[in-house]
Amino acid sequence: MLWLRWASYSQEPMDIREIARRAKVSTATASRAINRVSTVDPQLAKRVWKVVDELGYYPNTQARALVSGRSRIFGLIVSEFTNPFFPEIVQTFENLAVGNNYEILLTSTVNDPRRMELSVRRMIERRVDGVAILTFGMEETLLEHLRFRSVPLVFVDVGPDVRGIANIRINYQNGIRQAVQHLAALRHTRIAFVAGPLHLKSALARQEAFKASMIEIGLPPELIVVGDHRLEGGMRALIEIGRLNTRPTAVLCSNDMTAIGVMRQAYDQKIKIPDDLSVVGFDDIRMAEFTMPPLTTVQMSQKDLAKIAFQALLNEVEGRSTSHERHEYELTTNLVLRLSTALAPAGRPSTTPPKRVGASRFRKVSTTVQSD
């Protein structure tokens, strides 16, 4: 706190020159000491650091960035913070950022083309060192602006056509197959699927995974209704499903909000879950643990996703990767058993809920990521 008293009676600029002067060294040496360059004489270094601490000197990052050409900022573009899928990602990303002396420039597109464009512009203006785009849909032309400036990019789930940018591919099939087989094992044969907005690649992929998984075990993937990945869509979907002449005993949803909508509608109609109807979600957002009953769901680990994204960016920037190879990462989804699924009503002799699992197991993703 010494510098605080100092502060009270002098308000001169505290810049690296001031530090240098007081430590009786050149600015170059001061700079080196501060940046822990090993060749600097320990004596001098100590003198510099003493002054730095006494004065509470904090280097000006802008100036640093200007001369070094690296801002130590990673951009993170998401759709919407209020989408429950993102908070965990942002938190994990930030944890990694602080640990690596990066700042994060967080931006949301709120599904507005103008905001998308603005996001990209902001990234460029602030000269970010890399951008993670977790927004399930982004105009190709905007990316060109980033690519043109050779800003490292990480993407989730874009097609295989884009070259020169890292890509995290989601293995939807794995988790969805587990979900379908879990339901089948509980004697469900009439399994419905509530899809998401099919113009989204991710929603389409989930639906396809569902169909494939059903066919795989000889069940017809017929009962499909389209939702919107929101609560309302889930509610509407269950109403629609209720009108079907062959009523399903289980419903798999394209995301958790949809599943929560289904459960809400079931609650309103006094349909008991899981006794009358088994429900499975997708994503494993935080809320999935808090529903009643807790939701069985396919987990797409937001933590792992963030870790992979961050690490990919870091690899790119620190040049640990030769720039001409194709950078592919994979995130595998897995079923998390909770309490919203049970034996199918017809074949159920007694109420035997599936064993509850505390934590989920993952198959390790195909890339090494730093732990928390």
Partner DNA sequence: ATGAAAGCGCTAACAG
Partner DNA sequence: CTGTTAGCGCTTTCAT
Binding status of residue 264 toward a copy of itself by CB under 8 A = yes
Q: How far is the CB of 213 from DNA (least distance, A)?
A: 53
Q: How far apart are CA 257 and CA 255, in angstroms?
A: 6
Q: How far apart are CA 156 and CA 176, in angstroms?
A: 18
Q: How far is the CB of 152 from a copy of itself (least distance, A)?
A: 17
Query: Strand runs (DSSP E) across the chain, as ranges?
Result: 73-78, 103-108, 130-134, 153-156, 166-171, 191-195, 224-226, 250-253, 278-283, 296-299, 328-332, 334-336
Type of residue at 157: D
Contact, 101 vs 131, CB < 8 A?
no
371 binds, among a copy of itself, DNA, none (CB under 5 to 8 A by kind): none
* Subset of residues 66 to 95 that bind DNA, contact rule: CB under 7 A: 66-68
* Subset of residues 201 to 240 that bind DNA, contact rule: CB under 7 A: none
Binding status of residue 121 toward DNA by CB under 7 A = no
Binding status of residue 124 toward DNA by CB under 7 A = no
Choose which of 2, 6, 35, 318 interacts with DNA (CB under 7 A): 35
Binding status of residue 151 toward DNA by CB under 7 A = no
Inter-helix orientation angle 42-55/2-9, to 10°:
60
Q: How far apart are CA 363 and CA 356, in angstroms?
A: 19
68 binds, among a copy of itself, DNA, none (CB under 5 to 8 A by kind): DNA
The DSSP symbol for 340 reads S
Q: Which of 306, 263, 258, 307 is nearest to 283 (CA)?
A: 258
Stretch that binds DNA, among 54-62, 249-257, 263-271, 298-306 (CB under 7 A): 54-62
Q: How far is the CB of 331 from DNA (least distance, A)?
A: 35
Cis ω for the linkage preceding 274 (within 30 of 0): yes
How far are the Cα atoms of 91, 208, 242 from residue 278, in angstroms, in the given order? 32, 21, 14
Stretch that binds a copy of itself, among 18-26, 161-169, 258-266, 307-315 (CB under 8 A): 258-266
Interface characters, 114-153, with a copy of itself (x: CB under 8 A): -x--x--xx-xxxx-------------x--xx--x-----
Binding status of residue 98 toward a copy of itself by CB under 8 A = yes
Three-state DSSP state, 201: helix
Q: How far apart are CA 152 and CA 166, in angstroms?
A: 8
CA 265 to chain centre: 29
Binding status of residue 98 toward DNA by CB under 7 A = no
Q: Which of 277, 211, 291, 197 is nearest to 241 (CA)?
A: 277
Q: How far apart are CA 293 and CA 282, in angstroms?
A: 15
Choose which of 81, 185, 326, 357 interacts with a copy of itself (CB under 8 A): 81
Residues 6+ apart with CB under 8 A from 342: 186, 274, 275, 278, 348, 351, 352, 353, 354
Stretch that binds a copy of itself, among 247-255, 288-296, 323-331, 360-368 (CB under 8 A): 288-296
Interface characters, 50-79, with a copy of itself (x: CB under 8 A): ------x-xxxxxx-xx----x--------
Binding status of residue 368 toward DNA by CB under 7 A = no
For residues 105 and 191, which CB has a smaller minimum distance to a copy of itself in the complex? 105
b/e burial code for range 27-63 (CB count within 10 A of at least 16 → b): eebbbbbbeeeeebeeebbebbbebbebbebeeeeee
Stretch that binds DNA, among 55-63, 83-91, 132-140, 317-325 (CB under 7 A): 55-63
52 binds, among DNA, a copy of itself, none (CB under 5 to 8 A by kind): none
Residues that bind a copy of itself (CB under 8 A): 1, 4, 7, 56, 58-63, 65-66, 71, 80-82, 84, 86-88, 90-91, 94-95, 98, 103-108, 110, 115, 118, 121-122, 124-127, 141, 144-145, 148, 231, 260, 263-264, 267, 286-287, 290-293
What are the residues binding DNA (CB under 7 A)? 13, 15-17, 25-29, 31-32, 34-35, 39-41, 43-44, 57, 59-60, 63-64, 66-68
